[in-house]
Amino acid sequence: MAGPAGELGWLLHSLLLIERELLLFAGFWIVVGLADELAIDLTWLWLRLTGRARTGQLPAGYGSQPLAGPMAVLIPAYAEAPVIGTTVAHILGTWPQAELRLYVGCYRNDPATIGAVIAAASGDPRLRLVIHGSPGPTTKADCLNRLYAALCIDERRSGRAFRGLVLHDAEDMVHPAALAAIDAALDAVDFVQLPVHPVIPRRGRWVAGHYADEFTESHAKALVVRSALGLSLPAAGVGCGLARAAVEALAADQAGRHQPGPFSPEALTEDYEMGLALSQRGRGGVFLRLRDAEGALVATRSCFPDQLATAVRQKTRWIHGIAFQGWDRLGWTGRPLELWMALRDRRGPLTALVLAAAYLLLLVDAVLLTARLSGWAPVVPLSPVEGGLLALGLTGLVWRAALRVVFVGREYGWAEGLRSLLRMPIANVVAIMAGRRALVAYVRSLTGGSIIWDKTDHQVHPVLLKPAGAAV
- CATH code assigned to 56-334: 3.90.550.10
Q: Is 103 left (phi over 0), alpha (psi -120 to 50) or beta?
A: beta
> Where do the DSSP E strands lie in 117-159?
127-132
What's the pLDDT score for residue 460? 64
* Exposed / middle / buried, residue 212 (Cβ in 10 Å: 0-12, 13-18, 19+): buried
Task: Compute the average pLDDT of residues 144-153.
Answer: 96
Helix, strand or coil for residue 222? helix
Per-residue pLDDT tens digits for 35-74: 999 999 999 999 999 999 999 999 999 999 999 999 999 9
What's the pLDDT score for residue 204? 84
Task: Compute the average pLDDT of residues 267-290.
Answer: 92
With cut-offs at 50, 70 and 90, classify the pLDDT of residue 453: low
CA distances from 149 to 136, 138, 154, 247 (A): 17, 16, 9, 12
The predicted model scores a pTM of 0.91
Residue 324 DSSP one-character state = I
Q: Give the lowest-confidence range in 109-123, 214-228, 327-341, 424-438.
A: 327-341
What's the pLDDT score for residue 458? 59
Q: Specify whether the CB–CB gap between 277 and 452 falls below 8 A.
A: no
Specify the higher pLDDT residue, 451 or 403: 403
Q: Give the lowest-confidence range in 85-89, 315-319, 379-383.
A: 379-383
What's the pLDDT score for residue 455? 65
Q: Domain limits of the chain?
A: 8-50+345-446, 56-334
> Where do the DSSP E strands lie in 42-160?
56-57, 71-76, 100-107, 127-132
With cut-offs at 50, 70 and 90, classify the pLDDT of residue 472: very low
Q: Give the lowest-confidence range in 24-28, 185-189, 381-385, 459-463.
A: 459-463
Task: Compute the average pLDDT of residues 256-264.
Answer: 80
Q: 10 Å Cβ neighbour count for 383? A: 12
Residues pairing with 398 in the sheet: none
What's the pLDDT score for residue 450? 63
Task: Compute the average pLDDT of residues 11-18.
Answer: 87
With cut-offs at 50, 70 and 90, classify the pLDDT of residue 471: very low
Report the helix count and the strand count for the chain, using DSSP H and E: 15, 11
Percent of the chain surpassing pLDDT 70: 93
Per-residue pLDDT tens digits for 279-324: 988 899 999 999 999 999 999 999 999 999 999 999 999 999 999 9
With cut-offs at 50, 70 and 90, classify the pLDDT of residue 1: very low
Tell me what the pLDDT averaged over the chain comes to.
91
Task: Compute the average pLDDT of residues 93-101.
Answer: 96
With cut-offs at 50, 70 and 90, classify the pLDDT of residue 13: confident
Specify the higher pLDDT residue, 202 or 105: 105
